Structures are given as C-alpha cells and as structure tokens.
Amino acid sequence: MFGYYVQLGVRSLGRNPWLTALMVMAIGFGVAASMITYSVFRAVSGNPIPEKSERLHVPQLDNWGPQHARSLGEPPEALTYTDSTALWKAHQARMQTIFYEVTLSVIPEHGGGSLPFNVSGYAATGDFFQMFDVPFLYGSGWSQADDEGHADVAVIGRSLNERLFQGANSVGREINMRGHSYRIVGVTDQWDPKPRYFDLFSMFTVNGMGDASEIYVPFSKAIDLKIDTGGRNSCGGASSLNAGWDGWLHGECVWISMWVQLDTPTETESYREYLRNYAAQMQQSGRFAWAPNIRLRNVTEWLDYEKVVPPESRISLIVALGFFAICLINTIGLLLAKFMRRAAEIGVRRALGASRREVYLQFLIEASTVGLAGGVLGVLLTTIGMFGVGLIFEPQIAKLAHLDASLVLLTIVVAMAATVLAAFYPTWKAAQVQPAWQLKSN
C-alpha cells in the first residue's frame, strides 16, 4: 500500500501543477533562506575548543578605574604589560600564557630578487601551544626556560615553511625577521580555529576571524627587541605622559592577552581569589584608587561577552526563520485547498471502506513528496545563495559558510519534516470528510 500511496502522491503533484509549483517554491525559498543564514550562524557561533572551553580562562583586571570605563563597570578586555608579566611570573595557574599580536617582516636569506614580506603571528609564552592544542608538523614549542632566558627561537606556520623551505623540516634552521635572526624550533600544521577565541582583542581579527597566524616568537624576546603590537592598543583615556617605548610599556595602556588553564572548580576559585588579592595589593600600593574589580571568564563566557556572533548573522537568521514560518503557513493554506478539492474523491474512497488511517497515510505521503521536491529546490537555491553570502558578511566570515553533505541532508530533512507538519491540519480536515454526505451532495 505504501508504494501505491507514494505513486499516488507523485501523480497528484502533476494534478494541480500551479498549486504544486507554488508550494514547492514556497518551501524551497523558505528552507534555502534558513539554511544559508544558519550555515553562517553555525560557522561563527561554534565552540572552537569543546574539550577545554570550560577550563581555559581569561583574567581581567580594572586598571583604569570606574570613571574611565568604556563599558559600565567592566574591566578592560586586555592587560597592561605590568599586570600581565606580574601575573605570569606569579605562576598561580597550572598553565598560563601571555601574548600579543605581532607583524614582522621576513627578510629572505638568499638575497637576490626576493623582496621582504610581512607575516603576522604572536609574541607569546611557551605554554601557548599546549594550552590551545596547536598541532605540530615538525618540532615543538619552546620551554619556559626559553621564555625566561629570552631565547632567539621561533615557531613558524605550515605555509610560511612552504614558502621559505619548500615544506622541508626546517627545525634548527634560521629565519631573519626585521633584521634579527631566530632559530626555528617547530613548524605548526595548519591551525586556524574559528572563531579565534583566544585573541578577540586584536582589532584586525574582525569578529574573531582572520588569516591563520604564521609566526610565534617568545614574549620576552619581542619585548627586548621593542617589537610593537600589531593588534589593538587601548589606553582608555589613562593619562600616560611618560612618552616613548618605556613610558608606553610601563603605562596603563592595555594590549596583552592572558589565558590561564584551571582544571577544577576549586582551582578556578582559588585563582579568582588570587586575582582579587592582586588587585587589592595594587589598591594598597596606591596604584589603583578603587576596590578590586576583576573577572575570570571561560571560553564560552568570553565569546558571549565579546559578542563574537555578528548582529548581521543573528538578524538575518531571525528574519529567515520568520520567512520560513510564512512559507509554511502558505503551504498549510495551499495544501488545504489542494486536499479539499478532492473531497468527492475522499468520500468515494471512504464509502468503499478506506479507514481514516488510510486517508491520513495517503495525504501525509503526498505532502512529503511535495516536501521532498521543495527540499531539492531548497538545496539548489542554497547552493546559489552560498555565492551571495559574501555580499552580506565580512569575507573572513563568508568563506566559512559552505555547503557540505550534512547541510544538504539537513535541508532535505527540514523541508520534508516542515511540510509534513504543515500537512497535519489539511490532512485532518480531509480525513473528516463524511462519506455519506459527500455521496449525497453529488
């Protein structure tokens, strides 16, 4: 019987071609709009490090005071050099890293025709690699001894390694950046988590998106070499008359990100306590004229606080869902029209002994063929729409949205499920047709 109903369903698609085409189009457009916006939303709101997102924390500290705060009562989003190095040296967390974005010019060794070029990355401390699960192709990160010894070491990314060394194992080779020579200790594999949760402070990683980082050097060495931040620097109006590099370094401008790994709630609590005590010390020493104001957010809380999901993405998702709802209401109406047009046919079938259940089954199957056709159109429109995503979102975000097998499947399933759901009321109405009444009125 099932096969027969499917056959009937397919045949009925052709019976009111206009009505059918309208429904298929409504479902197709509705599901495509939802899927396109959903794919972008999915790309920007994913959990970038699920196994650790509850354990990695950002310490924040109010060094500007209540009257300077840009956002009411919230401490700045990054730390000063003074605070970050003090917290790092205290080593109160299992693992911890401080870092800032750098852009360095690589000067190719072999002179001749090759021009210098810029690469971006981070001046970080050694725990960076292990904390954020950076995958290595060759070698590894550097040790805490290297951090403390201000070593001339560097880790480079896969594509820089290909550009400079044709992909060979370059561990132990030298790289000249901004006139200074570093020994390569590791080559990372392609690593570019989205969103770039660990560095949401930098201005040019728009909404936590940006190109993969290609270079890592020790924080201590970068400070020695007076390498300026390639990211954001915010002074929050803090008076910093002490000019020049040293004045800036020891002033109240924030530009350094810090992360600590705390594996248990107890560790988290004691770190929070430590942070509060640190701020209290600053208050006692007279540096802060206000009570401790600290935060310790984990990855999930941090992404939420930094509003990583762009408003465009949310607004369009909401509008698209509303759009889909309208398409479904439309489909309910059209299915109702389509089914009730066949009241006479239903009456005959019922009079010949078909049960209500049979009528239900037949019409729901018919609806799902409409849903399937809508889903196929939806996949087609989604594919076209993917090319248009770049119109609305920053290119860094747009390139994350792509059509994969799971999205195709989801499109079809959502289209069919929604259509069947929409078909319940019309089907119920169809099953209510009284055999006797229909026969009589004819």
Partner 1 sequence: MMLQIKPILSALRRHKAGAVLIALQTALTLAIVCNALFIIQQRVAHLSAPSGIDEANLLVIENNWASKLSKDDADAQQRADLIALRQLPGVHNAIASNSYPMRGGGWDQFITLTPDQTTAIGDPAVYLGDEHFLDTLGVKLIAGRNFRPDEIHPIANRENVMPPVTIVTKALADKLFPDGSALGKSIYAMSSTPTVIVGIVDVLQTQSLENWQMRNAYQSLIWPMRQVGDAYYILRAEPGQLAAVRQAAVKALYAQNRMRIINDDGVLDYAQIRQQAYDSDHGMAVLMGIICVVLLAITAAGIVGLTSFWVGQRRKQIGVRRALGATKRDILSYFLTENLLIGIAGVMIGACLAIGMNLWMVSHFEMARLSLMYVLAGIVLLLLLGQGAVLAPAVRASRVSPVEATRSV
* Cβ distance to partner 1 smaller for residue 327 or 359: 327
Number of H helices, E strands in the chain: 16, 10
- Residue 249: CB partners within 8 Å, gap ≥ 6? 81, 223
Q: Scanning residues 79 to 108, which ones bind partner 1 (CB under 8 A)?
A: 103, 105, 107
Q: Scanning residues 192 to 211, which ones bind partner 1 (CB under 8 A)?
A: 203-204
Helix (H) or strand (E) run with residue 35 in it: helix 17-45
* Cβ distance to partner 1 smaller for residue 2 or 18: 18
Residue 265 CB neighbours (<10 A): 9
CB of 22 to partner 1, least distance (A): 5
Q: What does each C-alpha distance from 260 to 84, 133, 156, 277, 299 come to in angstroms?
A: 11, 14, 23, 17, 11
Q: Which residue has the tokens 């929409």?
A: 422
Query: Total binding residues for partner 1 by CB under 8 A?
Result: 72
* x-marked contacts with partner 1 along 350-389 as a string, rule CB under 8 A: --------------------------------------x-
Q: Which residue has the tokens 């071609």?
A: 17
**What is the DSSP track for 296-363?**
EEEHHHHHHHTT-S-HHHHHHHHHHHHHHHHHHHHHHHHHHHHHHTTHHHHHHHHHTT--HHHHHHHH
Q: What is the CA radius of gyration of the chain?
A: 31
* Cβ distance to partner 1 smaller for residue 31 or 134: 31
* x-marked contacts with partner 1 along 250-289 as a string, rule CB under 8 A: ----------------------------------------
* Cβ distance to partner 1 smaller for residue 24 or 275: 24
- Residues 338 and 9: their CA atoms lie apart, in Å, by 12
* x-marked contacts with partner 1 along 23-52 as a string, rule CB under 8 A: --xx--x---x-------------------
- Residue 370: CB partners within 8 Å, gap ≥ 6? 13, 20, 23, 24, 27, 331, 335, 419
- With binding defined as CB under 8 A, does residue 319 bind partner 1? yes
* x-marked contacts with partner 1 along 144-183 as a string, rule CB under 8 A: ----------------------------------xx----
Residue 232 contacts residue 202 (beta carbons within 8 Å): yes
Q: Scanning residues 401 to 440, which ones bind partner 1 (CB under 8 A)?
A: 425, 429
* Cβ distance to partner 1 smaller for residue 144 or 441: 441
Q: What angle do CA 209, 185, 233 make, to 5 degrees?
A: 40
Of 8, 10, 332, 421, the residue at the interface with partner 1 (CB under 8 A) is 332
Residue 54 contacts residue 297 (beta carbons within 8 Å): no
- With binding defined as CB under 8 A, does residue 228 bind partner 1? yes
Q: What does each C-alpha distance from 382 to 25, 61, 319, 416 come to in angstroms?
A: 13, 45, 16, 16
CB of 227 to partner 1, least distance (A): 9
* Omega cis (within 30) before 50: no
- With binding defined as CB under 8 A, does residue 237 bind partner 1? yes
CB of 245 to partner 1, least distance (A): 6
Of 270, 330, 383, 434, the residue at the interface with partner 1 (CB under 8 A) is 330
- With binding defined as CB under 8 A, does residue 302 bind partner 1? no
* x-marked contacts with partner 1 along 103-142 as a string, rule CB under 8 A: x-x-x-------xxxx------------------------
Of 293, 316, 368, 419, the residue at the interface with partner 1 (CB under 8 A) is 316
Residue 247 CB neighbours (<10 A): 12
- With binding defined as CB under 8 A, does residue 241 bind partner 1? yes
Q: Scanning residues 7 to 26, which ones bind partner 1 (CB under 8 A)?
A: 18-19, 22, 25-26
Stretch that binds partner 1, among 131-139, 187-195, 274-282, 323-331 (CB under 8 A): 323-331
